[in-house]
């Protein structure tokens, strides 16, 4: 399989993790006791650990190799500030779509960076694809529950929309491969920008939601999520 075909498959699989998470959310809505509270929070924390590993092991190391410290700082901070602005806007308008916006806001730039990495033959491209899929699963779960419970959107409609959004992965990946790969500084800046936004997301939404009193699975779930990225980084 050539690089383009591999890229399409990987970005599509990473995107399909969103509707896969929604399917779990649908099962959880129909059979609310199939997962206990600690396990559910552990899954969320696992996704948070995977997100942190993507920042620490792929996005930031790759980004700072290309751009200067002032540019790196500006891009990283801008990502965090954008997610902050999105959060404030959604809160003021009482919109329940925060998880959905956050999911797409980190998935699309990561997919573009993945495409550019494939074009340059970067060994971390496969690792990044795996981490994107791991993070999209709990984000899809949370976004589905948020839209169906708070916004009262029919579950089938949300699930269909998530399947359509999965196609954004190959589109973004191919644009990174054919368009942005020639602009190394832009890709590095995008990686740092996404890293700042994801870090905001982890501490604003995922970490607080994952915590439970006198329960330890969520914390060890975060460790295991990061461990997946660590092992992947060492293998590549």
Mean pLDDT of 183-199: 86
Annotated domain spans of the chain: 3-235
Residue closest to 43 by CA, chosen among 220, 227, 231, 178:
220
Mean pLDDT of 163-180: 93
pLDDT, tens digit, for every residue of 199-233?
887 777 766 665 555 555 666 666 776 777 667 66
DSSP the chain: --HHHHHHHHHHHHHHHHHHHHHHHHHHHHSTTSS-HHHHHHHHHHHHHHHHHHIIIIIHHHHHTTS-HHHHHHHHHHHHHHHHHHHHHHHHTT-S-HHHHHHHHHHHHHHHHHHHHHHTT-TTHHHHHHHHHHHHHHHHHHHHHIIIIIS---HHHHHHHHHHHHTHHHHHHHHHHHTGGG-HHHHHHHHHHHHHHHHHHIIIIIHHHH--TT--HHHHHHHHHHHHHHHHHHH-
pLDDT, tens digit, for every residue of 105-128?
778 888 988 898 888 777 677 878
Q: What is the pTM of this model?
A: 0.78
Note the pLDDT of residue 10. Answer: 92
pLDDT at 181 over 80: yes
pLDDT, tens digit, for every residue of 145-160?
888 877 788 888 999 9
């Amino acid at each position: 399989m050539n690089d383009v075909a591999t890229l399409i498959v990987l970005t599509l699989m990473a995107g399909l993790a969103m509707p896969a998470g929604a399917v779990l959310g649908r099962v959880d809505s129909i059979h609310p006791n199939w997962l206990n509270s600690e396990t559910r929070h552990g899954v969320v924390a696992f996704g948070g650990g995977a997100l942190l590993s993507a920042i620490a092991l792929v996005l930031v190391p790759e980004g700072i190799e290309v751009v200067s410290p002032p540019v790196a700082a500006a891009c990283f901070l801008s990502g965090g500030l954008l997610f902050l602005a999105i959060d404030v806007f959604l809160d003021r308008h009482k919109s329940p779509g925060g998880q959905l916006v956050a999911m797409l806001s980190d998935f699309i730039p990561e997919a573009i960076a993945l495409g550019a990495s494939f074009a340059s033959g970067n060994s971390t491209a496969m690792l990044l694809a795996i981490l994107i899929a791991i993070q999209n699963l709990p984000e899809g779960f949370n976004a589905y529950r948020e839209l169906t419970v708070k916004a009262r959107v029919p579950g089938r409609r949300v699930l269909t929309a998530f399947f359509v959004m999965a196609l954004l992965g190959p589109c973004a990946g191919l644009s990174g491969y054919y368009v942005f790969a020639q602009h190394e500084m832009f890709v590095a800046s995008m990686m740092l920008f996404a890293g700042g936004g994801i870090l905001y997301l982890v501490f604003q939404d995922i970490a607080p939601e994952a915590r439970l009193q006198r329960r330890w699975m969520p914390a060890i779930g975060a460790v295991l999520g990061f461990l997946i990225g660590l092992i992947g980084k060492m293998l590549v």
